Structure 1
Amino acid sequence: MTSSVPWQQRLSTGTEDIQDEVVRWYQQTRHGKAYVPSMIWGTLQTEAYATAILRRVVDFLEVPDDVPAGVAKRMERQQVLYDGEHHYDVVLGEQALYTNIGGPTVMRGQMERLLRDIDLPSLTLGILPSTVEMPVVPMPGFNMYDNGRAHYELVSTGVDITDPTELALHDKALAALSEAACFGDPAKDLINRALVFWRNG
C-alpha cells in the first residue's frame, strides 16, 4: 500500500507537530535504514544545519514559522543514537557532504559532527563515492522503519510505502548501495576531504 499527504496539509500548523511525529517513529523503530544521496540524514544534522533546512521548508511551502520549535524536536529525535536501544544503517551519497546548506561554517560543523558520531555503536554509516559505478538505477532517498514502512520526502508530499513486496525491493536496493559504499576509515577519509574543502571555502 502507498499513501501520501501533501506537505502543506501536514505542516498546516508549522514544523513542530510533524517533527514530534517523526520522533515517535524513531523511538518505536529498533532497526532503521536510510539512503540519503544529497543531504545529511536528519538524525545526524547539527542544530545549525537543521535550522537552515527547516527555514527553507517554511519559506518554500509558506507554512507557519516555528523553526526553533521544529529544530528542537529534530534534536530530541537524535537521542535514539545514544540510548543503546536502536540501530541505524545509513548510506549517504558523497554529494551530501558538499551540498551547501547554510554556508561554509555550518558545513564545517556538520562534517565535524559526522566524524564525531561515525563510530557510534548505534550507527553503521557509509558514504557512496560520487565516482563509484552505481549498482542500481539512481533514485531519491528514503527511510525504512523496522522493515514495515518506507518513507520518501518529495517536493510537495511525503509518501509512505507498506506493501511487503515493495519493501523487499527497497531492502534489495539498500543492500546494493551499501555494497558499493565506503565504511570505516575510507568513509572518514571522504568526510575529512569534505571538511578540508569547507575549511578552505
Structure 2
Amino acid sequence: MTSSVPWQERLSAGTEAVQEEVIRWYQETPHGQAYVPDMVWGTFQTEAYATVILGQVVDFLGVPNDVPAGVARRMQRQQVLYDGEHRYDVVLGEQALYTNIGGPEVMVEQIDRILRDIDQPSLTLGIIPAAAPVNMLPAHGFNLHGNEVHLELVTSSVNVTEQSELNLYRDAFRRLSDAALYEGEAKEILSKARSFWSGARHG
C-alpha cells in the first residue's frame, strides 16, 4: 500500500511535530537504510545546516515558523547514532557535499561533522562519486525503516508498505551501495569537498 500526505497538511502545526514523528521511526527501527543523492542525511545534519533546510521548508510551504523547535528535535533524533542499539547504512551522492546549504562556513562545519562520525560503529556510510557508473539511475532519495519506505516529494510525504515495492527498494539500495565508496576512499571525497568549501570561505 502507498499513502501520501501533502506537506502543507502534515506541517500545518509547524515542523516540530513531524520531527517528533521521525524520532519515533528511528527509535523503533534497529536497522535503517537511507539513500540521499543531493543533500546531507537529516540524522547527520549540524544545527546550522538543519536551520537552513527547515527555514527553506517553512518559506516554500508557508507553514508556521517554528524552526528552532524543529531543529532541536532533529538534533535529538541523532542520539540513535550513539545509543548502541541502532544501525544505519547510508549512501550519499557526492553532490550532497556540494549543494550549497547556508554557504561555505555552514558547509565546512557540516563536512567536519561527517568526518568526525564516519567511523561510528553504528554507521556504514558510502558516497557515490559524481562520475561513478551506477546500475540504478535515476533514483530519488528514500529511507527504509523495517517494512516501510519513506519518500519526501516536493508536495507530499509518501509511505510505501507494499511488499513487492519494498523488495524493489531494497534491490535499488543494494545497487546504489555497490556504486559507493567507503572508509578511506569516502574520507578522501569528504576531504576534497571540505577543501573546496574552505577555499570558498577564504576566497
- Give me the TM-score of the superposition, normalised by structure 1: 0.99
Question: Is residue 2:116 matched to residue 1:78?
Answer: no
Paired letter, 1:107 = M
Paired letter, 1:162 = T
Q: Could you tell me how far apart the structure 2 residues matched to 1:31 and 1:170 are? A: 15
Paired letter, 1:125 = L
Any idea what SS the aligned residue of 2:18 has? helix
Aligned counterpart, 1:143: 143
Q: Could you tell me how far apart the structure 1 residues matched to 2:153 and 2:101 are? A: 18
State how 1:99-114 maps to structure 2 within 5 Å: 99-114=99-114
Q: Could you tell me how far apart the structure 2 residues matched to 1:174 and 1:25 are? A: 19
Any idea what SS the aligned residue of 1:111 has? helix
Q: Could you tell me how far apart the structure 2 residues matched to 1:120 and 1:100 are? A: 26
Deviation at 1:139, TM superposition (A): 1.2
Question: Is residue 2:198 matched to residue 1:199?
Answer: yes
Aligned counterpart, 2:187: 188
Aligned counterpart, 1:14: 14
Deviation at 1:135, TM superposition (A): 1.0
Q: Could you tell me how far apart the structure 2 residues matched to 1:137 and 1:43 are? A: 24
Per-residue CA distance 1:170-192 (angstroms, 9 max, x = gap): 00010011111000000000000
Aligned counterpart, 2:39: 39
Q: Could you tell me how far apart the structure 1 residues matched to 2:137 and 2:55 are? A: 31
Which blocks of at least 5 consecutive residues in structure 1 are unaligned?
Answer: none
Any idea what SS the aligned residue of 1:151 has? strand
Paired letter, 2:63 = V
Any idea what SS the aligned residue of 1:43 has? helix
Amino-acid identity (%)? 62
Paired letter, 1:194 = A
Deviation at 1:137, TM superposition (A): 2.1
Paired letter, 1:41 = W
Aligned counterpart, 1:159: 158
- Give me the TM-score of the superposition, normalised by structure 2: 0.98
**Alpha-carbon RMSD:** 0.4
Which blocks of at least 5 consecutive residues in structure 2 are unaligned?
Answer: none
Q: Count the aligned residue pairs.
A: 200
Paired letter, 1:161 = V
Paired letter, 2:142 = F
Question: Is residue 2:62 matched to residue 1:62?
Answer: yes
Deviation at 1:138, TM superposition (A): 1.2
